[in-house]
Amino acid sequence: MTARLLDGKALAARLRAGLAERIAALPFRPGLVVVRVGEDPASGVYVRNKDKAAREAGFASRTLHLPEATSEAALLAEIAALNADAEVDGILVQLPLPAHIRAEAAIAAVDPAKDVDGFHPMNAGRLASGLPGLVPCTPRGAMHLLAEAGVRLRGARAIVIGRSQIVGRPMAQLLLAADCTVTIAHSRTDDLPGECRRADIVVAAVGRPEMVRGGWIKPGATVIDVGINRLPDGRLVGDVAFAEALPHAGAITPVPGGVGPMTIACLLENTLDAALARRSGPALSGRA
Ligand code: NAD
């Protein structure tokens, strides 16, 4: 048996095309502002990609690039101004921030109704409480891929490896909301291979190249590999040993071309949701 590939690039392109159609039919252009502070080179690439994708889909997108020396108070004042700007539907503060700025302060300063990253404690709490809100983009993208795979979620055993605020925790909440029986594994988990072998759905979000071995995958399981790791030889690999996992898994996301493209598509989806919820109804009613 060889696993079916879950093509995130193609699915993201379809999602983005669908969003572009919906935006073209609106009487306004939803606005996204990406806030970048300083010169982190990787952030530069991410911010450009987000801005380009947003413009292509028809959003009014701009980047607010502040100097490295910007104080925390000055950043919070900029965020407050964006919160108050009626044309701005989504605000994303690109991480990492310079060391003198507390990321949690910047995240908490964003209006939860405009928090298209879904990182605000209010949105995290709403997700954990089973209430509608804005959901972090990468887990939202992973859920789309699972839907595309057509796998049964209700009652299935899922393992999420990694417990970060950005990926692992919200992913586990979404799987729980979809009626999976969820295990959250992390760096202190005893017998990770054994936990993994029981899972019908494996979501790896660790940040360790090819840590999840093929023999850890239950035959026929669906594998969502969130990891993006650059090897010394320049190759990009996931957290799952892809070639080893292929003969075991029923379906698997490649790296690159799996979860990665879905993250930006879901940022756009969140921005449209935020725009529609904010402009037409009660705040935070936007989660699909
Ligand atoms: P993180 O470093 O914040 O969290 C990693 C988690 O992995 C931690 O909770 C830790 O407990 C767990 N972990 C570490 N070592 C472990 C081990 N040996 N066994 C089991 N668990 C272990 O990372 P993150 O932000 O959640 O990102 C995880 C990976 O996903 C990274 O490779 C990152 O680049 C990638 N990522 C990809 C996208 C995307 O769009 N595809 C988005 C965000 C993150």
182-224: pLDDT as tens digits: 999 999 999 999 999 999 999 999 999 999 999 999 999 999 9
pLDDT digit string, tens, across residues 34-78: 999 999 989 999 999 999 999 999 999 999 999 999 999 999 999
Q: pLDDT value at position 1?
A: 74
Q: pLDDT value at position 286?
A: 44
How many angstroms separate the alpha carbon of residue 281 from the centre of ligand 1?
A: 35
Strands 157-161 and 90-93: unpaired
How confident is residue 288, by pLDDT bands cut at 50, 70 and 90? very low
Q: Domain-by-domain residue ranges, the chain?
A: 26-112, 136-259
The residue whose C-alpha atom lies closest to atom 5 belonging to ligand 1 is: 206
- pLDDT above 80: residue 264: yes
How many angstroms separate the alpha carbon of residue 205 from the centre of ligand 1?
A: 4
Same fold, 26-112 and 136-259: yes
The CA-based diameter of the chain, rounded to the nearest angstrom, is 57
Q: Which CATH architecture has domain 26-112?
A: 3-Layer(aba) Sandwich (3.40)
Choose, from 89, 115, 117, 225, the residue flagged as catalytic.
117
pLDDT digit string, tens, across residues 113-165: 999 999 999 999 999 999 999 999 999 999 999 999 999 999 999 999 999 99
Choose, from 51, 89, 94, 225, the residue flagged as catalytic.
94
For every residue of the chain, DSSP letters joined together read: --PEE--HHHHHHHHHHHHHHHHHTSSS--EEEEEEES--HHHHHHHHHHHHHHHHTT-EEEEEEE-TT--HHHHHHHHHHHHH-TT--EEEEPSPPPTTS-HHHHHHHS-GGGBTT--SHHHHHHHHTT------HHHHHHHHHHHHHT---TT-EEEEE---TTTHHHHHHHHHHTT-EEEEE-TT-TTHHHHHHT-SEEEE-S--TT-B-GGGSPTT-EEEE---EE-TTS-EE-SB-HHHHTTT-SEE--SSSSHHHHHHHHHHHHHHHHHHHHHHSSTT----
Domain 136-259, classified CATH 3.40.50.2300, yes or no: no
The residue whose C-alpha atom lies closest to atom 14 belonging to ligand 1 is: 187
50 is catalytic: yes
